[in-house]
């Protein structure tokens, strides 16, 4: 495929997971009342989505290596559609939990295939450039998601949020079916348990891959984890309406978009590795601001979202080069490598959300968990640089 088509399809697929969360988060407080349940149960519906998303990547990635990117995408998109329909029709919170688990499993293919189709066709700086372009386009979906979700709630009810996901999933499947050719050479032997276990063992044992995954686990995992806290902080504590919350989240996704555009403009003039370093300085600064603001000032929209914007801007600088580095050592099973990185990244988001549920108070959890995750990313980068220096010597 051309670089433009690869970017467009990659952005559509990778947006599947974030959009499914962005549409959903404004509805979380309303779902507490709709099902007559507790905040903890509704937070659990996001956590089980993370579990499905994270664990299914370990299968969707290898499946794309074994049966092809196109076939694996269509299969998992069908699972996503089934989960979305089930969520829209859920008669109870228990049924909603099952449907969200299925949704997460289906959405998992987006992260693995979007990265794998880039690695199939491009390498090095060109691959990073394409991942940066995907990041720019990716910002649009999650940016509009909370706004669309909030409007759907205002005009209809919570079921409309899941019907939007059905539409998005069907559109994604149509694009893959009609416009995405196969970019890999499928090898069904790669899905055999022994081969699969060996591949994952090789990847997990390579610090170049593992440290790349841990950097992403810190910064992107923090983004996923905070989605379990921000609706309750901004709606219940600060007092925003669901529609205002949706519009307010444009600060997060808009900052990511701005960071992606800024990276595209300055990257030709940056020495190798400096984009990641700049990004990590920004994310750690944002994390420190979150830690301090939640302890020193009464929560307001700006006290919460300005530090989040810093983290999102910096994240855009980190993701392209770190992802490219993690996929570089093993091009023959790029889907499996993308799956491992995605699993660790989403698993981190799940653990962060679970820790928030254990702490209880969303504001206290936000002020502790997010800064810790940003520091984890920084420490992982120290390991990353040492591992690549050793490999080069």
108 within a domain of the structure (yes/no)? yes
Locus of tokens 């010597």: 393
Spatial separation of the C-alpha atoms in residues 47 and 41, rounded to whole Å:
10
What are 211-221's pLDDT values in tens digits? 999 999 999 88
pLDDT for position 185: 86
Query: Domain of 349?
Result: 3-178+194-392
Locus of tokens 């997971």: 17
What are 140-152's pLDDT values in tens digits? 665 666 667 777 7
183 within a domain of the structure (yes/no)? no
Number of domains in the chain: 1
pLDDT at 22 over 70: yes
pLDDT for position 85: 95
- Look up the pTM and report it: 0.75
Mean pLDDT of the chain: 86
pLDDT at 24 over 90: no
347 within a domain of the structure (yes/no)? yes
As a whole-number percent, the residues of the chain with pLDDT over 90 amount to 34
24 within a domain of the structure (yes/no)? yes
CATH value at residue 214 = 1.20.1250.20
114 within a domain of the structure (yes/no)? yes
Closest C-alpha among 327, 113, 365, 335 to residue 222: 365
186 within a domain of the structure (yes/no)? no
What would the mean pLDDT of 8-24 be, rounded to a whole number? 83
Between the alpha carbon of residue 151 and those of residues 147, 170, 230, 232, 255, the distances in Å are 6, 21, 18, 18, 22
185 within a domain of the structure (yes/no)? no
- How far apart, in Å, do the first and last CA atoms of the chain sit? 36
């Amino acid at each position: 495929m051309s670089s433009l088509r690869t970017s467009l399809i990659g952005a559509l697929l990778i947006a599947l997971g974030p959009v499914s969360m962005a549409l959903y988060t404004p509805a979380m407080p309303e779902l507490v009342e709709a099902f007559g349940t507790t905040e903890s149960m509704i937070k659990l519906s996001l956590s089980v989505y993370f579990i499905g998303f994270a664990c299914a990547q370990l299968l969707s990635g290898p499946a794309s290596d074994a049966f092809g990117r196109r076939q694996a995408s269509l299969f998992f998109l069908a699972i996503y559609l089934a989960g979305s329909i089930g969520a829209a029709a859920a008669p109870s919170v228990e049924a909603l939990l099952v449907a969200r688990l299925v949704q997460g499993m289906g959405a998992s293919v987006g992260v693995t295939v979007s990265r794998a189709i880039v690695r199939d066709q491009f390498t090095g700086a060109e691959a990073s450039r394409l991942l940066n372009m995907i990041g720019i386009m990716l910002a649009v979906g999650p940016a509009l998601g909370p706004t669309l979700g909030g409007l759907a709630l205002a005009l209809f009810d919570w079921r409309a949020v899941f019907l939007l996901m059905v539409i998005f999933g069907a559109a994604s499947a149509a694009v893959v079916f009609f416009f995405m050719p196969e970019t890999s050479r499928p090898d069904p032997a790669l899905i055999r348990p022994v081969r699969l276990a060996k591949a994952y063992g090789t990847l997990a044992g390579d610090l170049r891959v593992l440290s790349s995954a841990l950097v992403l686990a810190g910064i992107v995992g923090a983004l996923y984890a905070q989605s379990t806290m921000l609706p309750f902080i901004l709606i219940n504590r600060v007092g925003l309406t669901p529609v205002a919350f949706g519009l307010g989240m444009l600060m997060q996704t808009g900052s990511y978009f701005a960071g992606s555009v800024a990276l595209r403009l300055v990257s030709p003039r940056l020495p190798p590795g400096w984009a990641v370093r700049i990004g990590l300085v920004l994310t750690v600064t944002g994390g420190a601001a979150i830690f301090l603001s939640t302890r020193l000032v009464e929560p307001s929209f700006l006290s919460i979202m300005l530090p989040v914007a810093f983290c999102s801007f910096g994240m855009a600088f980190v993701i392209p080069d770190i992802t490219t580095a993690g996929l570089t050592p093993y091009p023959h099973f790029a889907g499996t490598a993308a799956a491992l990185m995605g699993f660790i990244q989403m698993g981190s988001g799940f653990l962060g959300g679970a820790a928030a549920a254990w702490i209880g108070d969303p504001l206290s959890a936000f002020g502790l968990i997010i800064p810790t995750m940003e520091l984890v990313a920084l420490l992982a980068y120290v390991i990353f640089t040492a591992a690549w220096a050793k490999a080069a010597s």
